Structure 1
């Protein structure tokens, strides 16, 4: 599809030069001689990028940028700067400009910057579409403007078009099922069956029958043929939640399904080919289970083709305000009352809280506050005691007057955590309040050996 670019510059030679540089690219190019005209064209045209000069008559580039961002906050804008206006370029990026080019510019560099800017705009629109589609399909929405959640949504957008097996990991309450929903409902299988199985909620004997089905007479109580969930999910998706709970015997059978793309019903002899996309999820450390012999290594790698790790809420605190606002709106609507407010003091306590139960815990607390609060505003005194008194458990570190080397302190703490846990990475990560994957990344960064010396 042809991309529409607006060049806003009062120098006709500059507009001509940029048009000439882009003549072989697949762009439709529009031009504006001042900021006011640029703003009008943003309102009237479907643009994918604006190149905006800082120095223009009627309305300069900075004011035009502010107006453009009011009209379309996601529209990428690259500032055109002259020598000596670098401070203004930095200020423009704080307002919302994506990048800047300096006069005179390098043609190849200009083309690269434009392609990158348009890709960013496309990705923003895809994420917005994906979020809306998920809400329409499931009645639920993924809330999160943090960098981590944007990266995850970008990953969801990329992998949903493939048929690869996906393993979603993260603590309880982080939203693993929502991510699985997003992958299915934005995939080419979205109009096909989507079957969910909680592997931890079913005993082993029943789980096999549920997954693969059974023939009449296969066991006591099997009075008729039962079609299993893998078979029901043919051409669609099966979501295996709490995959770390299945027995080693069941792991062998699941491995065969993933390898051969076929099943046999319990008590049957017929081999049934299936085309089912598998998404698995767990709050357990499967690699640690592999090391202990509790989970098959070959199955782990079959499941972990594309890993998606969801961060705990304490590592994405910038999303808490949006989540609180969403849940307040949701539960006020449910009980038919006007939307409640929350004081800044109370919100600060929620932001500082550790949230061991993650988003699920936050949602439960907001629901309780909405139901029990008779006022129109949630105050600090309305919060549960464990949130109010969290500060008593917090340790305050005082920065020495001579300062510290933060990297040396971090390395020392990592080594201490590893030594105190006999180099058990999962336990060491828990001591440090980070995920195991984050610990491994930092060990690699500081070249810390994973074994005892």
Structure 2
């Protein structure tokens, strides 16, 4: 019988119980951990991926009322309400069992247990844990989708949305291109939500924020003992998306060696965790995004041509906000409503809407959103006056169509605006600190 990949935590102060339970359950599950002190539960949960917990109800001699078990059950549920907990006791009072189930226990097992019953209960708990994780991911995605307005009055954007709707129904690789802040993450989420994988995980991986040394560990996972800090087997982000969609953002930042590893994964649809030879075949759909000019990078030998053609079965360019001015009033109203709720304000109104529509928005939708939020926080009035650097006419905002020149200019402006504060500049540009540092090094800033 093939072992199920799952983490099981057994908590009991009786070493014989711990030993026998671990030996039995190790036949069926890949990672079984036993601890004798309940005080170690929370730290163990932080250090390991646990799918189900077997928890004793009594830890002190002479105390057999089960109150300790109920206490630790509530502590576990406070930290992770979705993790199934099976309670164990040698004292099978019906009232205690009912109380435990009411407080969130998944099952109740009497000692000495029947091995087949123990396995069945733990196996069911693992299945429940997996369903809870998927449901949680789905709810988070639903919530994130509600954070954006996807309707458009712009002819250019309407064409983009229609294209995305068509490709969503397939498993084709999609490459999303566009400036920072144009909504590439939101559009990737839109594709996933309209695909046949919509009830499965949507995993966003920012390649710009992952160091080269951690790339394989983050994406492919690792086996216990593969390196110093590998204390347990850990699935990578690709495996965790099994059945769903993987969105690889900032793909233009990958080094050539990492591009080769990614190309192999996309071509073969198989991977191996660090430290093991076993091949795994996650069923995932890939989406990609970048603000880099990949064709130019290919010509310069900085991006593999075979990888470029592999990832852009369908290539979609997201227009900058200055090219979809028709959407600015509706987007502004959407963000006003969003931040009214967030900051408990009401009847807010933008006074300089005409100036807003005519502004170039080098930071695109993200700049609009952040500007509205900032002014709502700082303003004491319901009349909001958004402030922009309007000293230059709009056509000077885009003085060059060269993406690298525009990128360098935006980074310089952000660093100047935030007086060299890297965190603030990175946030305004929609980048991680690591990604901004790489770009600063690239442009010699």
Per the shorter chain, which TM-score range? 0.5 to 0.7
Query: What is the match of residue 296 of structure 2?
Result: 288
| 1:139 and 2:146 correspond | yes
In the alignment of these two chains, the number of paired residues is: 267
The CA deviation at 1:425 is 6.4
Which structure 1 segments of 5+ residues have no match? 1-132, 396-413, 418-423, 432-453
Query: What is the match of residue 224 of structure 1?
Result: 232
Match among 371, 390, 393 for residue 392 of structure 2:
390
Indicate conservation of the 8 Å contact 2:297/2:303, yes or no. yes
CA distance change for structure 1 residues 340 and 238 in 2, over 3 Å: closer, same or farther? same
Cα displacement string for residues 57-99 of structure 1 (whole angstroms, at most 9, x for unaligned residues):
xxxxxxxxxxxxxxxxxxxxxxxxxxxxxxxxxxxxxxxxxxx
CA distance in structure 2 between the partners assigned to 1:334 and 1:429 by the alignment: 33
| 1:369 and 2:375 correspond | yes
| 1:351 and 2:357 correspond | yes
Query: What is the match of residue 25 of structure 2?
Result: none
| 1:267 and 2:257 correspond | no
Query: What is the match of residue 94 of structure 1?
Result: none
Query: What is the match of residue 185 of structure 2?
Result: 177
CA distance in structure 2 between the partners assigned to 1:218 and 1:324 by the alignment: 50
> Helix, strand or coil: the match of 1:238?
strand
Cα displacement string for residues 338-397 of structure 1 (whole angstroms, at most 9, x for unaligned residues):
121223xx111111111111000011111122222222223xxx332513x334x867xx
Match among 166, 169, 191 for residue 174 of structure 2:
166
CA distance in structure 1 between the partners assigned to 2:240 and 2:141 by the alignment: 22
CA distance change for structure 1 residues 337 and 427 in 2, over 3 Å: closer, same or farther? closer
CA distance in structure 2 between the partners assigned to 1:326 and 1:425 by the alignment: 32
The CA deviation at 1:272 is 1.2
Map 1:81-230 → 2, pairs under 5 A: 138-141=145-148, 142-230=150-238
CA distance change for structure 1 residues 214 and 428 in 2, over 3 Å: closer, same or farther? closer
CA distance in structure 2 between the partners assigned to 1:215 and 1:429 by the alignment: 43
Which structure 2 segments of 5+ residues have no match? 1-139, 409-445
CA distance in structure 1 between the partners assigned to 2:271 and 2:202 by the alignment: 18
CA distance in structure 2 between the partners assigned to 1:428 and 1:194 by the alignment: 33
The CA deviation at 1:176 is 0.3
The farther-off stretch of 212-221 and 320-329 is 212-221
Higher relative contact order (CA 8 A, sep 6+): 2
CA distance in structure 1 between the partners assigned to 2:330 and 2:375 by the alignment: 17
Indicate conservation of the 8 Å contact 2:372/2:386, yes or no. no
> Helix, strand or coil: the match of 2:267?
helix
> Helix, strand or coil: the match of 2:260?
helix
CA distance in structure 2 between the partners assigned to 1:137 and 1:239 by the alignment: 15
CA distance change for structure 1 residues 340 and 227 in 2, over 3 Å: closer, same or farther? same
CA distance in structure 1 between the partners assigned to 2:298 and 2:370 by the alignment: 34
The CA deviation at 1:223 is 1.9
CA distance change for structure 1 residues 385 and 282 in 2, over 3 Å: closer, same or farther? closer
Indicate conservation of the 8 Å contact 1:134/1:182, yes or no. no
CA distance in structure 1 between the partners assigned to 2:181 and 2:403 by the alignment: 19
> Helix, strand or coil: the match of 1:259?
helix
CA distance in structure 2 between the partners assigned to 1:360 and 1:298 by the alignment: 32
Indicate conservation of the 8 Å contact 1:134/1:186, yes or no. no
Query: What is the match of residue 41 of structure 2?
Result: none
> Helix, strand or coil: the match of 1:235?
coil
CA distance change for structure 1 residues 390 and 215 in 2, over 3 Å: closer, same or farther? same
Indicate conservation of the 8 Å contact 1:353/1:390, yes or no. no
Cα displacement string for residues 2-45 of structure 1 (whole angstroms, at most 9, x for unaligned residues):
xxxxxxxxxxxxxxxxxxxxxxxxxxxxxxxxxxxxxxxxxxxx
Indicate conservation of the 8 Å contact 1:209/1:266, yes or no. yes
> Helix, strand or coil: the match of 2:286?
strand
> Helix, strand or coil: the match of 2:389?
helix
CA distance change for structure 1 residues 430 and 204 in 2, over 3 Å: closer, same or farther? closer
Query: What is the match of residue 264 of structure 2?
Result: 256
CA distance in structure 1 between the partners assigned to 2:337 and 2:256 by the alignment: 45
Indicate conservation of the 8 Å contact 2:350/2:386, yes or no. no
> Helix, strand or coil: the match of 2:274?
coil
Indicate conservation of the 8 Å contact 1:212/1:231, yes or no. yes
